[in-house]
Structures are given as structure tokens and as C-alpha cells.
Amino acid sequence: MDYRVHRYRSACGRLDLAARDYPARDAGAPVLLMMHGLTRNSADFEPLAERLQGRYRMIVPDQRGRGLSQWDDDPAQYRPDVYANDMLALLDDLGVTRAGLVGTSMGGLMAMVMHALRPALAQAMVFNDIGPVLEPEGLARIQGYVGPADAMADWAEAAARARSINASAFPDYGEAEWGAFARRIALENADGTVSFAYDPAIARGVSGEAPTTVPPDLWPLWDLLDAVPVLVVRGSLSDLLGAATVEEMAQRHAGVYVSIEVPRVGHAPMLDEPVALAAVEAFLAEHVR
């Protein structure tokens, strides 16, 4: 797929950030902003972007400290409210005033913050395995793997490392899937070794009993979303988004609310699963025009 890399300044003005900008067939096509999770980057959305290509202009950023975006020398800035302001700076730079928001994990937290800051922005929102309550089991698992890691010798080792971290979330993956997964979350270094495509310092935001990456009470932000059509995607094996939370999200949303569950997938679905692709495609077609 063709895209250009758009460079822009962070909201604080200190950092050089990057985003993929996938063109639409028509100049007036609707816009999607796709926001990745904690240790991921813009490559996470390649399968979904391929499915939707041409119908939308798709803006897919690397958050600060990930992918092609500059690392922040102040790790305290690795948190959703800062990322949300970066996203508003990106959209302002591109002249985008309305968009559909797709957020995986941390990206969904950012979407809630963005709506609180700019209520007229979102035409609709897709929350991929994230909600106002994050289960302790899932948080503990994330705390256990994110952070400093030695470079891997090659892509085979990177695939093995990806599998060791994520096997419980994707029990049906085989060698090909883990190889593709590794190439979306890692980058090859000049010496041929492979490293995860994020600043290890992002780990500080999820450490301890009160991680700054997770705002303390998200229900007030969720309660602001009644006028926004919402699709919630949950992996049936998710240890971060509980089924009870999805139920309460529905009860507390008075507007358009759709939820689906992706079988035999944990945190977080890649959105290339047939049930997820079909649901996201249909939801966006109806609500982002």
C-alpha cells in the first residue's frame, strides 16, 4: 500500500514525530485516525488499512518514543494525555477537523481523552480491547514484559521473543504469523540485529501500583461519549478488558453502542480476524462518512 510519512512537531514543540498518511481515492473522503497500543507502532494497523484502503484517508501515527518518532528524554511525558495532545497537534497540522477514531489498548484511552478535550472531533470511535476499567491481571502481565531488552540476533529470534510474550493472546498463531508479528513490532539495526521499536523508558509509565499510563478513573470520560457511535471489540481471552466492563460500558452509553467478541484471541485483537474486520468495516461504513 502507498502512504507518505508525514513529519510534524509534538504538542509541546520539543519532538519530531511521524505518521503514515494513506490517501483515499476521493479528495473529500472521510478521515480515520488509528492509534496503537503501548509497545506497538503504526505498522500494527497494516491489515486493517489494507482492508479499508481507498475508502478513507487513514492517518496512522507512531506515538512519541515509538517507530519513526523521536524518543522523549523526559519519560514522565509518556502518558495518554500527552499523546492525546500530540494527536490534536497532528490533526491540526493536517487541517483535519472531523475523523473516526480507532484506538487499540492505549490508543483507546487516548481517544477518550481527545473527546474530552475536543468533543466535536470524533464522528465515531472503535475501542479495541480497552475500556474504562483495566483488569489487574492484564496490567501485571504488561508490567512483566515492557521495558529494556537486549537486541535480538535476527528476525527468527525476534519472532520467538514475540511468541514468548504474546502466546497466550494468540494461541492459534503459527510460524508465519509470529514472523509477521515480529516485523510489525521491531526494527532491524545497522548491524543486522533486531530491537523492539520503542523507547524502553515507556516502562516507567506502567510501573508500580499507580501507573501514570492509566488514568485513575476513566468512567467520567466514558460518560461523555453518549453522542458518539461506539464499537467495542474484545478478545474472548482478554486479560485486560473484562466482559463485565463491556456490559457496564453498554449500560452507561445512551447512544449507538455495538460490541463484538473475537474468539480465541486475547489482548489485543490485531483487527485482521474475520469477525473483527467485518464488524469494523460495517461500523465505519455506517458512521464515518
pLDDT tier, 179 (very low <50, low <70, confident <90, very high otherwise): very high
**Number of independent structural domains in the chain:** 1
Rounded to two decimals, the pTM is 0.96
Cβ-Cβ contacts under 8 Å for 181 (sequence gap 6 or more): 159, 162, 163, 166, 170, 173, 270
Mind listing the pLDDT tens digit for each residue in 113-161? 999 999 999 999 999 999 999 999 998 899 889 888 899 999 999 999 9
Asked whether residue 196 is assigned to any structural domain, the reply reads no
User: pLDDT tens digits, residue range 214-229?
Assistant: 767 899 999 999 999 9
Q: Is residue 175 part of a domain?
A: no
244-271 mean pLDDT = 98
Q: What is the CATH number of the domain that holds 237?
A: 3.40.50.1820
Instruction: State the average pLDDT over residues 180-186.
Output: 97
What confidence tier does 204 reach under pLDDT thresholds 50, 70, 90?
A: confident
Q: 3-state DSSP call for residue 141?
A: helix
- Domain span at residue 40 reads 4-140+201-287
- Is residue 15 predicted with pLDDT exceeding 90? yes
What pLDDT sits at residue 148?
83
Q: Residue 45 and residue 19: Cα distance in Å, rounded?
A: 12
Residue 42 falls inside a structural domain: yes
pLDDT of res. 208 = 64
Q: Assess if residue 233 is contained within a domain.
A: yes
